Amino acid sequence: MTTTCPSGEHAHHDVYAAQCPCRALLDLLANKWSALAIGALEGGPQRFGELQRTLQGVSPKVLTQTLRRLEDFGILDRTIYPAVPLHVEYALTPLGQSAAIPLNALRAWVEDNIDNTLTP
């Protein structure tokens, strides 16, 4: 489905068009760590350490970069609580919650079908 581009840079949004800003959002959501972080946050706000334990194998640097990009796109909110030590929580925004729906379906499909693939 295409919609009119509010920026006026092109006639409509089209992820297949090289210059469409949709590409950056698609790239973000198609990233493994982004999709997994969004899924991990579906149950509610979490701290950095909780997310890192849930997302086994992600480095602190990559998780930090992923969370920053998701925040920049409005997919999640970062809330800082003034305490010693500093307490930071990440939570999905309404936009992030809407992105979680198709990503959840994709993750479920992968889990259901991995045994039917020709994995290397």
Q: What is the pLDDT of residue 11?
A: 65
More confident residue, 14 or 58: 58
Q: What is the pLDDT of residue 12?
A: 78
More confident residue, 119 or 4: 119
Mean pLDDT, the chain, whole residue set: 90
Q: What is the pLDDT of residue 105?
A: 96
Q: What is the pLDDT of residue 7?
A: 58
Angle at 15 between CA 12 and CA 20, to 5 degrees: 60
Q: What is the pLDDT of residue 14?
A: 85
114: tokens are: 């991995």
pTM of the complete model: 0.85
Q: What is the pLDDT of residue 8?
A: 60
18: tokens are: 């090289």
Q: What is the pLDDT of residue 18?
A: 82
| Beta carbons of 12 and 22 less than 8 angstroms apart | no
Share of the chain above pLDDT 90, in %: 72
Provide Rg for the chain, Cα atoms.
Answer: 17
Least confident residue range of 2-6, 23-27, 86-90, 111-115 = 2-6
CA terminus-to-terminus distance, the chain: 34
